[in-house]
Amino acid sequence: MERSMKLDKITLGTCYYPEHWPEEMWEEDLQRMLENGIEVIRIAEFAWSKIEPREGEFTYEFFDRFLEKAEKAGMKVIFCTPSATPPAWLTNKYPEVLNANMDGVLYRHGCRRHYNYNSPKYQELVTRIAEKSAAHYASHPAIIGWQIDNELNCEKNEFYSESDTIAFRVFLKKKYHTLDALNEAWGTVFWNQTYTDWEEIYVPRPTPSNATNPHEVLDYVRFVSDSTCFFAKMQSDILKKYVKPGDFITTNGLFGNLDNHRMTEESLDFITYDSYPNFAYCLDSYESEKDGLRDRKWSRNLAEARAVSPVFGIMEQQSGANGWNTRMEAPTPKPGQMTLWTMQSIGHGADYVSYFRWRTCTMGTEIYWHGILDYSGRDNRRLAEVKQIHKMVGALEPVTGSHYRAEVGIVKDYDNLWDAGLDMWHQRVDRESSKSLFAACQKTHTPFDFCYLDHMRAEDLFRYKVLFYPHATIVTSEMSEKLTAYVEQGGCLVLGCRTGYKDETGKCVMSRLPGLLQPLTGTDIPEYTFVSPADGTVYADWDGVQIEACIFNDLLEPLTEQARVEARYVSSYYAGTPALISNAKGKGRVFYFGGAFHEHTARVFLEKLGVAQPYGDILALPEGCELTVRESTDQSRYFFVMNYLEETAEICLKEVFLDLFEGKEAEGKLELPPYGTKVLAKINSINR
Ligand code: GAL
């Protein structure tokens, strides 16, 4: 059975810090939250010292008093383990628990997330406080679930402490058994890096030109992910012993160098995401914005959350301005934006949305990170908006538990994700194509899912009409088998340049390219090149449509009779050479494109392959609106139409829908105000 929050309705919550406010305020705060539609709070993720103020001295009074008030008020609580912020007594006495930068300099007390996952001492002390907290609080009637830590791998997702080096050696011994195997996998014969003793191996350290052996770094990232998963599991194994039946275990955020799927499978009931679309309006990111999507880009992150847990939660949803005292200067959400961003989360599959935070903190690094209430706590516009959102969410009850629906998939896997993190050549094509495919899907109102190949069976892919796997530079035989099965049963797979030239160690293969995928693609790549800015833009002609083949070009040749040249380059010294080849395989077809996908190119693919605008015949929307679709088990569909524009958008319903917010049927032209959302239902409609 799918593991989710098991809510009977879409629910609102907030993050509350009882330790930040005088106790006399608690009751009134709880009361006010409930009056405004907030039914769940998350507490205690940074409050280690309130439970263990001195080493080995445990006291439960503080949260006992708070939980008693919460229970009396009828407030439900998500309780956290406090491992994100070890107390000063701990880091001072046991500096080995601290994380370090690559130079080995320790990160000290004063901020947060300054610990490492591999220190046996930290593991011991975290285990103890998690066990004590769970044993004491888990049976409390106000508690409905647990959050482990806070944002694992946020702040820092690289670890260079001595404990990490020791654990890295253990990880490598388990993986390779012998130094010969490790030397072979890492290609250490290059530049005389051969290891003769395990003690010679360290987590990456500073090297000239910052260019540490890439195969070593790839294993190091796998190791960081492994350490994070271990740390989460260590805590979840404890919590599982104590949680009441029906209570859940989760953690929040999606950060780098972490296999979030594995962590969720091993340790959580579902993932929760922290959604801050207002980052789009931060001074430092605003300038670099090019595709006009701004806050809509958070839909990409929500698609990532959904790829981990189809029905997920938002543990922290934007409710005020961004801002630390050191960075992230951004405005207050405009009237309607909190509603829009809440609907964005729900439209993508969230059934729980919890605002960060109830009151704006008056002290510390986050004095400018605003919550619902400002410093004074007076009633304000944002609180009124929460109350309004609560009313709207009441109308969305039938949407609860339904799944996002997409016919297009963008395939990913962790090895390629991590390889793109360290290999600039891979990163450049990957960034361009993922940004472009997302933008093209958004602007053509084509819902898509991220499909993590390393966590899906071939059968899970069969429901997608088209899969894009833009630049799988690392390809293994297992991956190739899944992709072949997908195509053979009738799927359409689109690959981009630089596919299949590495094995799982990150070393280049010596077979003809695209390596293991040559039989599937029926394509050969006798030559390839980076596109120099001096060459200008390279185009290919696809039946009269010019598409850009940016960044890197594979020059293609068909290998089989079924392989058809679809497009040829029209510029550079390779004008006339095939740029796109399609190959029939079983009931399906695979396309190999020799470039990275520019936004226009991605759009042409969606259109030519017949998957753009799947709902164009029943709904017409301007580009500035997003469309998401959730479908329940009885096949009722809920179309979320969200206007991100600062002006009124005109939408046209070409059929009769049930407008959930209005509670009546709607058809024809409708106006959607700035930041407005409509949820239009087709109850029990079988596939159109
Ligand atoms: C999140 C974090 C919160 C708070 C918020 C605003 O990443 O989980 O604790 O720091 O950002 O900065």
Please report, for the domain that includes residue 162, its CATH number: 3.20.20.80
Q: DSSP 3-state assignment of 272?
A: strand
Q: Is the pLDDT of residue 550 over 90?
A: yes
Please give the mean pLDDT across all residues of the chain.
97
Q: Is the CB of 309 under 6 A from ligand 1?
A: no
Q: Has residue 615 been placed in a domain?
A: no
The answer on 419 and 323 residing in a single domain is no
Ligand 1 midpoint to CA 17 (Å) = 13
Q: Is the CB of 186 under 6 A from ligand 1?
A: no
Q: Is the CB of 422 under 6 A from ligand 1?
A: no
Q: Has residue 635 been placed in a domain?
A: no
Ligand 1 midpoint to CA 520 (Å) = 45
- pLDDT value for 286: 80
Q: Whose CA is nearest to atom 10 of ligand 1?
A: 366
* Boundary (domain end) residue, out of 399, 426, 453: 399
- pLDDT value for 687: 41
The answer on 432 and 383 residing in a single domain is no
Task: Provide mean pLDDT across the span 358-384.
Answer: 98
Ligand 1 midpoint to CA 81 (Å) = 16
Residue type, 365: T
Out of 151, 385, 548, 566, which one is annotated catalytic? 151
Residue pLDDT, tens place only, 225-270: 999 999 999 999 999 999 999 999 999 999 999 999 999 999 999 9
Q: Has residue 23 been placed in a domain?
A: yes
Q: Provide the domain limits for residue 475.
A: 408-608
State the CATH number of the domain containing residue 540.
3.40.50.880
* 151 a catalytic residue: yes
pLDDT confidence bin for 290, thresholds 50/70/90:
confident
* Boundary (domain end) residue, out of 551, 578, 608: 608
Q: Has residue 233 been placed in a domain?
A: yes
- pLDDT value for 292: 87
Ligand 1 midpoint to CA 654 (Å) = 43
Query: To test ligand 1's pocket by mutation, which of 14, 46, 148, 151 has the most ligand atoms within 8 angstroms of CB?
Result: 151
The answer on 479 and 381 residing in a single domain is no
Atom of ligand 1 nearest to the CA of 150: 8
Q: Has residue 672 been placed in a domain?
A: no
Q: Is the pLDDT of residue 8 over 90?
A: no
The number of domains in the chain is 2
Q: Can you tell me the distance from the alpha carbon of 305 to that of 59, in angstroms, rounded to the nearest whole number?
A: 36
The answer on 374 and 451 residing in a single domain is no
* Boundary (domain end) residue, out of 351, 376, 399: 399
Q: Has residue 325 been placed in a domain?
A: yes
Q: Is the CB of 356 under 6 A from ligand 1?
A: yes
HSE-up (13 A, CA, CB side) for residue 8: 1
Q: DSSP 3-state assignment of 360?
A: coil
Q: Is the CB of 270 under 6 A from ligand 1?
A: no
Q: Can you tell me the distance from the alpha carbon of 590 to that of 576, in angstroms, rounded to the nearest whole number?
A: 21
Q: Can you tell me the distance from the alpha carbon of 250 to that of 261, in angstroms, rounded to the nearest whole number?
A: 12
The answer on 131 and 23 residing in a single domain is yes
For the full predicted model, state whether its pTM sits above 0.95.
yes
∠ Cα 23 29 33 (to 5°): 155
Residue type, 657: F
The answer on 441 and 345 residing in a single domain is no
The answer on 116 and 27 residing in a single domain is yes
For the sheet with 350-356, list strands across it: 248-250, 143-147, 76-80, 40-43, 11-15, 350-356, 312-318, 272-275
Q: Is the pLDDT of residue 406 over 90?
A: yes
Q: Can you tell me the distance from the alpha carbon of 98 to that of 547, in angstroms, rounded to the nearest whole number?
A: 51
The answer on 428 and 554 residing in a single domain is yes
Out of 45, 304, 316, 432, which one is annotated catalytic? 316
Beta bridge partners of 502: 474, 508
Q: Is the CB of 369 under 6 A from ligand 1?
A: yes
The answer on 39 and 111 residing in a single domain is yes
Atom of ligand 1 nearest to the CA of 45: 9
Q: Is the CB of 17 under 6 A from ligand 1?
A: no
Ligand 1 midpoint to CA 275 (Å) = 10
Ligand 1 midpoint to CA 20 (Å) = 15
Q: Is the CB of 149 under 6 A from ligand 1?
A: no
- pLDDT value for 688: 36
Q: Has residue 638 been placed in a domain?
A: no
Tokens matching residue 84: 């994100």
Ligand 1 midpoint to CA 526 (Å) = 49
Given the structure tokens 């009738």, which residue do they identify? 490
Q: Is the CB of 274 under 6 A from ligand 1?
A: yes
Q: Has residue 102 been placed in a domain?
A: yes
The answer on 418 and 393 residing in a single domain is no
Find, among 144, 132, 22, 139, the residue nearest to 82 by Cα: 132
The answer on 372 and 452 residing in a single domain is no
- pLDDT value for 685: 54
Q: Which is more confidently placed, 7 or 583?
A: 583
Q: Can you tell me the distance from the alpha carbon of 264 to that of 260, in angstroms, rounded to the nearest whole number?
A: 6
Are 599 and 616 a contacting pair, CB within 8 Å? no
The answer on 352 and 419 residing in a single domain is no
* Residues contacting 223, CB < 8 A, separation 6+: 167, 168, 171, 172, 203
